[in-house]
Amino acid sequence: MPPETPSHAADRLDDDDYPAYTMGRAAEMIGATPGFLRAIGEARLITPLRSEGGHRRYSRYQLRIAARARELVDAGTPIEAACRIVILEDQLEEALRLNEELRGRSG
């Protein structure tokens, strides 16, 4: 893979889906432990990408999802239930966005 130009690399950092953060940095950013990130990965809430060396890498979008799950767990919700709630919230948000988009086209 050829090296990225500085402007192209900066563009990727603005991309919500670009896996820019290591597990340690991601855990620090959301106030959790690497074990928490592994647990929500095992629960299939998020699937981190892997670097060429096999290390987990997280995007900003994934960190927002993980932070929401951490809030629920901190409030006493079991991790499996927290993951399911976050998935449903995300699906609802997407459905509402699509619904609004379709209404805009017909009106």
* CATH classification at residue 81: 1.10.1660.10
Q: Which domain holds residue 40?
A: 16-105
Domain assignment present for residue 9? The answer is no
Q: What is the DSSP string of 51-105?
A: -TTS-EEE-HHHHHHHHHHHHHHHTT--HHHHHHHHHHHHHHHHHHHHHHHHHHH
| Within-domain flag for 47 | yes
Q: How many domains are contained in the chain?
A: 1
- Whether 71 is covered by a domain: the verdict is yes
Q: Taking 50 as the threshold, does the pLDDT of residue 7 lie above it?
A: yes
Tens digits of per-residue pLDDT, 44-93?
999 999 989 999 999 999 999 999 999 999 999 999 999 999 999 999 99
pLDDT at 3: 53
Does a structural domain hold residue 11?
no
